[in-house]
Structure 1
């Protein structure tokens, strides 16, 4: 019986005039229903907690009659045999023919996966697509067949369930808190409506239009045959559970089938694999007065093992054999080996995440072991071998070790060698402690197995770093707290028969399981609180490694060959430098927290860029950071996309073409006026060679200090320069004098001949004549055009060019809002408007980084790098 639907129907088109609200509701409604059903399951589980006795449950499983077990197995085989009829009916409906063996295999494997995994990427729909398309069916034919299967199942279970509820509504009414008459009425409506709908479908000769697609309805014979198949299947699957109940159960099969079908449907709505928890809770509650809770729980455990687990294992083996034969037939041995090696390499990349999962699982085992009572007699034996105080201390330390394994999983995920070493030590300690606290050899074997898995994967933990480098995220801490909370609930469940007294905390005895678990939980909670506060409140550990003078000079030697100018930022010495192996190219980067930010595109021949980008990515990966490239150009985006980074637009850069540049024409009216007005006001422009700069440094510093004081700002860094004599002494300068006194200056960045001309520091006295900077820029552009430069770079306008349209990405809408409304804080629009007077060509600039929330955190770190710290980001 297909307990899970295998397909996703085509999305309905947006209703005209509904805007984005209707699609949003359609996306949220299934999850809202699932959340509601899951909440009801939690409530039901809370009500069931008092009904179960774990020891009694185990005894019930062991004492189930052999005849009942045999009946469950036989009815399961009958159900899965009947399921083949679903696929045969579906294939007949779409007009496709397949060999019976292929249809039977597709049916069995598909239903085995979909029953257990529910709505997952590997459910029955995907399995059938794989098996049936290789047999010659098209993707659309498979989609139609899967749609038929899901519809037929829902019709069948609705009919059987409604008949059962109509005949015996009392039990379902008690679970749903509805009057029996209401349940019977609803069941009768469904039971009568379904045959009417099927008859109407059989008489309807024209195709049905659904979501803009035409669907030809099955004929009456096929519908009737499918109804018989689905009814038979559901009867067999319900019978597989019914035979496990006591022989004297005062519940008829019809009443049982009604409750069973309702539980199956609610389990589907929960989106949980196999409806686990929801289905079981409803069955226990509905039959609580007729079947003891322990016997019902034992029946459900065996039913799930026989009906779900065993078919799934068989399906996995069949699918693996099928794929193996297909590969052997299709590929030569050498190609098969090559692909196998590639798959192994891909699998190695997933090892850290798997190792983290293993560590967390081992930690959960220890937390659960500490929350449950010991096996009778083992504590006595352990106390006789060592002593009772050792047993007590071992119990507490065992739970703390479990918490440590959960937390250190984060370090394994980051591939830290120190995290691997500590995890191996904790696993070894867990083995010893489990034996000391009560001879719990089962947990010791599990931990030893986890240690063996981690030992086999030891080469994947190559990042050199101490445990202080492990930064726990809030999500990881909350997840750990959830596990501890779960251990608390489990302890309350296991010892609910023990009446609480303050004296329990101090009771020490071999039979005092409850006090022992309570003390272990308190120690675990205190350890979690302390470690979490330490991890979340400590400052970011990493800063940018500064290059030495030789490294800076080595990079400076490559600058004259680059047509772009931002590479001159390397001369500030505040960014680390990464060269390619041949030393013909480099990139510069800064580090703050986990953000490793490269400034601009690499410098050097374009053919060196891929190696530099990948080398940077791999270096950052080894250190557990997140790589980003700041202010990159659109033509280089494919390079970063290939490296797995996603672009986010952060603004536009203004570039003025200098070919044929002059001050004639209406477009240059403002610049022409600035030059003439400046001349009348006594301004003069001059270019000062780098050899002459040291003699002018005192005057330039006075201009810089006045500019900083007038604007009430401090020096920046990373993406802009600051007043540093050594740095400024490397460049020619443009200066503007007024009556012989320097009132404005800018240091010049010059690219390769025919390339780009730009400026870095641009500063003027607050009392300089109006239009002084326009005067300076106009003369610089005229000079650059005469010197053969192609472009004059005016720099970037942050957040410029981002659209606030309703369908634009969230980042664009947020950036556009800040651009238009954030004028009092930064002057975004004013900066763009000032540069617009030079009639530049605006080119987008991007941040390339990992997706998700990474761009927001990286941009915050970039702002801190530019401002010299968080205080500079908040202030000026």
Structure 2
């Protein structure tokens, strides 16, 4: 039972997120079934210019409010920074995290890079990160309670099946949490939450947090609301409830930008008030304003900041690649996932006069329609492989993106749509050097463990192709066939099972082989010593690279496994050992960390989402690489004395 609970704790959020994403894709495809790109474009053209300008103004105000988060956070940490620095940290942190959502470029990671350059200690940065994270939650709970009191009917399903007073009573725990936080800030300095110490601000700061977060959520919702046409019964407060529920679902799914989940929830919530094309048109403009445009601006600012940190001429020449090295792959992976989602939605649109239909007949056109959702599904899997720097994922992504461009072209879509797939393929091709890991298929001999998923992928692809070329449901995507009422049960089962096996098989082929760490004994110590690695008398195990030509020892700590030094041995195998350790920690539900490492592998540590904190200021550089936003408190004793003293909690609270 304990093992099952541990598995659920580690994988429950991911399983829940996948379930939400699958449900959202089904909802969106169902809504798209009777739409066309022309319908959506017409709805977007109908948005008045005044609404566009107002939405742009609300967007600027929303990011200015977020900058106040960071300003108050630095005051709370006892190291206030200037307003321009607060805005840079907030804008880059939030816009990158909103769109990418991966560990290496999360809001916390970006803030650590910026604030550390401005002289803040790791604990002070951790306080800023914690403050900004908590602030948004306070605003969401405060406004959520307000919506439940005055507009409880907006809650999906529950609004029409649960008594009104019951839903209104649900506001009490939300307001209770906010009120408890404010009251505790008056009487206590520190509290422990889930084993972590939280330093509380003063009551004035707590009130400012709550008010600021409430304004932030309301202003962000106003961007979307301004873009919607007037609809009877859709007040701003009612829309706010729909927006909060949709945004919360997007966060729970752990999908960058809530892609698909947020959109599906918004479509369901607004269905009683307006047609789907008007919702989708406003949704696309909202994403452009609040997500896409800020992403490009913040990316440029972040790279510019990295360039500004390097003074030497040679460094300036090469800084662009290094300054964006932890940003480039997650950004490309996010775009690949977005391309996959676009193809899935494209597969839900009806076919209306395609190029291939004129050349090869109606059945070939239907096949291109079916193929869009298959290729889109595979691109979602490839994004997973790209994040793990797999060469096989890089090659397959190129192949699938070219397929996506061909599918968009033969369907007669606008030129810029298939051109976007070609442009993304060019960007992926240019980053070949960023993908340096072998997958299970490439690294291992063709054993039964590798042969079975390979054959499954081949057979599933052939089966889905056969379905695409005939039958009453060949004009549907493979997702829709599973739920189709006109398809025979045997076909629905076959397509569903085949599609799932195809995705699982691709994930299995992309995943590195599972392994167990070496037990710590005299033989293991001798092997590490021969490689030149640390071989202390006491350790909890050792990890070797895939070629067993590099390795290191590690210690198990509560929530963190600590590697002792850089991997010693052949460089290529040392990189595989680092990633193996990362995969091992992920399966164990803990964070990886590396103690007393040099500069040689800092790029790789950054690739797996770790931050390097200097342990030695003089002589050869020495670092502690860790997930500082989560593990600083437990690993703080490993910091040098001067940094450890600077990281001690302040005795006085912010007023």
* 1:337 Cα deviation from its structure 2 partner: 4.6
Per-residue CA distance 1:553-612 (angstroms, 9 max, x = gap): xxxxxxxxxxxxxxxxxxxxxxxxxxxxxxxxxxxxxxxxxxxxxxxxxxxxxxxx99xx
**Which residue of structure 2 aligns with residue 268 of structure 1?**
251
Counterpart in 2 of 1:135?
118
Following superposition, the deviation at residue 367 of structure 1 comes to: 9.3
Shift of the alpha carbon at 1:397?
8.9
3-state DSSP class of the match of 1:208? strand
Q: 1:772-809, CA deviations, whole angstroms, 9 ceiling, x for partnerless residues?
A: xxxxxxxxxxxxxxxxxxxxxxxxxxxxxxxxxxx9xx
Aligned mates of 1:48, 1:248 — CA distance in 2:
21
Q: What aligned pairs does 1:445-844 form with structure 2 within 5 A after superposition?
A: 445=419, 481=460, 491=477, 627=547, 638-639=568-569, 643-644=573-574
Residues 1:54 and 2:35 aligned together: yes
Query: Which of 42, 46, 61 in structure 1 is aligned with 2:22?
Result: 42
Aligned to 1:181: 165
Which structure's relative contact order is higher, taking Cα pairs within 8 Å and 6+ residues apart? 2
Q: Tell me how far 1:226 sits from its aligned partner.
A: 1.7
Q: Which residue of 2 aligns with 1:106?
A: 89
CA distance in structure 2 between the partners assigned to 1:169 and 1:155 by the alignment: 19
Asked which structure has the greater CA Rg, the reply is 1
Contact 1:394 1:434 in 2 (8 A): no
- The whole-number CA distance in structure 2 between the counterparts of 1:354 and 1:272 is 14
Q: 1:320 aligns with which of 300, 303, 309?
A: 303
Instruction: Give the Cα–Cα distance (whole angstroms) in 2 for the partners of residues 399 and 141 of structure 1.
Output: 53
Quickly say closer, same or farther: Cα 1:165–1:118, change in 2 above 3 A.
Answer: farther
Shift of 1:86: 0.9
State the Cα distance separating 1:51 from its structure 2 match.
3.5
Query: Conserved in 1, the CA contact under 8 Å of 2:256 and 2:334?
Result: no
- What SS does the corresponding residue of 1:243 show, helix, strand or coil? helix
Q: Which residue of 1 aligns with 2:266?
A: 283
- For 1:208 and 1:439, the matched residues in 2 are separated by 57
- Whole-angstrom CA distance in 2 between matches of 1:217 and 1:233: 21
1:209/1:371 Cα in 2 relative to 1: closer, same or farther (>3 Å)?
closer
**Is contact 1:366-1:399 (8 Å) kept?**
no
Alignment of 1:21-32 (within 5 A): 21=2, 25=5, 28-29=8-9, 31-32=11-12
1:76 Cα deviation after fit:
1.1
Q: Distance in 2 between matches of 1:356 and 1:116?
A: 11
Shift of 1:499: 10
Shift in Å, 1:276: 2.3
Q: Residues 470, 432 of structure 1: CA spacing in aligned structure 2 closer, same or farther, 3 A cutoff?
A: farther
Separation of aligned partners in 2, 1:164 and 1:404: 41
For residues 133-160 of structure 1, the C-alpha deviation after alignment (integer angstroms, 9 at most, x for no partner) is 1111011101011111111211111001
Superposed displacement of residue 638, structure 1: 4.5
The answer to whether structure 1 residue 197 and structure 2 residue 180 are counterparts is yes
Deviations 1:631-684 (A, max 9, x none): xxxxxx94468843659xxxxxxxxxxxxxxxxxxxxxxxxxxxxxxxxxxxxx
Give the whole-Å Cα distance in 2 for the aligned partners of 1:288 and 1:109.
34
Query: What is the CA distance between 1:28 and its match in structure 2?
Result: 3.8
SS of the residue corresponding to residue 121 of structure 1 reads helix
Cα deviation digits, residues 278-317 of structure 1 (max 9, x gap)? 2222222223212222222222222112111111111111
How far apart in 2 are the matches of 1:460 and 1:213? 36
| Pair 1:70 & 2:53 matched | yes
Distance across 1 between alignment mates of 2:403 and 2:263 = 37
Say which SS state the counterpart of residue 251 (structure 1) adopts.
coil
Q: 1:136 to 1:61 in 2, by over 3 A?
A: same
Q: Displacement of 1:326 after TM fit?
A: 1.3
- C-alpha change, 1:489 and 1:200, in structure 2 (3 Å) is farther
Q: 1:92 corresponds to which residue?
A: 75
**For the residues of structure 1 that align with 2:445 and 2:336, how far apart are their CA atoms?**
15
**1:324 Cα deviation after fit:** 1.1
Query: What is the CA distance between 1:49 and its match in structure 2?
Result: 4.1
2:63 corresponds to: 80
Structure 1: gaps (5+ residues): 1-19, 503-517, 537-608, 611-624, 631-636, 648-806, 808-876
Cα offset, 1:362, TM superposition: 9.6
C-alpha deviations, 1:295-352, integer Å up to 9, x for none? Answer: 222222221121111111111111111111112x2xx2235557779899x99xx99x
* Structure 2, gaps ≥5 residues long: 469-473, 510-529, 532-544, 551-566, 579-587, 589-655
Compared with structure 1, are the counterparts of its residues 315 and 374 closer, same or farther at alpha carbon in structure 2 (3 Å cutoff)? same
**In structure 2, which of residues 215, 218, 224 is the aligned counterpart of residue 241 of structure 1?**
224
Give distance in 1, aligned partners of 2:122 and 2:289.
32
Distance 1:360 1:84 in 2: 29
| 8 A Cα contact 2:263 2:283, kept in partner | yes
* Corresponding residue SS for 2:119: coil
Could you state the TM-score of these two structures normalised by the residue count of structure 1? 0.46
Write the distance in 2 (CA, Å) between the matches of 1:212 and 1:475.
41
